[in-house]
Amino acid sequence: MAGVGKLLKQAQKMQKAMEAVQAELENLTIEGTAAGGAVTATVNGQGTLKGIKIDPEFLKEDVESIETSILAAVENAVVKAKAQSQEEMNKVTGGFSIPGLF
């Protein structure tokens, strides 16, 4: 049964490391852009939207283009955040996938 105890200790160590990575990701800033940089979305490493910036000149465009560009910028930022999160978690888990974690 010594193997089980060792496995449990390793799991606890991994859990603490994952919690630390989650805290780091929460403070990470990732930007996504669209419309040639006229729209910038900022998210944290967990993919939570933190801000939107729009070039005032771009606001002269039609509403549909502006809405589409905002959505594209947010999607771009979220994709980058997910990739960064996955990369950081892989460092902790060694690439071992834990169902329901990601």
- Reported as type and span, the H/E element at residue 23 is helix 2-27
**What pLDDT digit, counting tens, does each position of 64-86 carry?**
999 999 999 999 999 999 999 88
pTM: 0.76
SS3 assignment, position 9: helix
Average pLDDT over residues 83-102: 73
- Both tokens of 58, joined, read 């771009």
Of the chain, the percentage scoring pLDDT greater than 90 comes to: 53
Q: What is the 3-state secondary structure (H, E, C) of 55-96?
A: CHHHHHCCHHHHHHHHHHHHHHHHHHHHHHHHHHHHHHHCCC
Whether 73 contacts 52, CB under 8 Å: yes
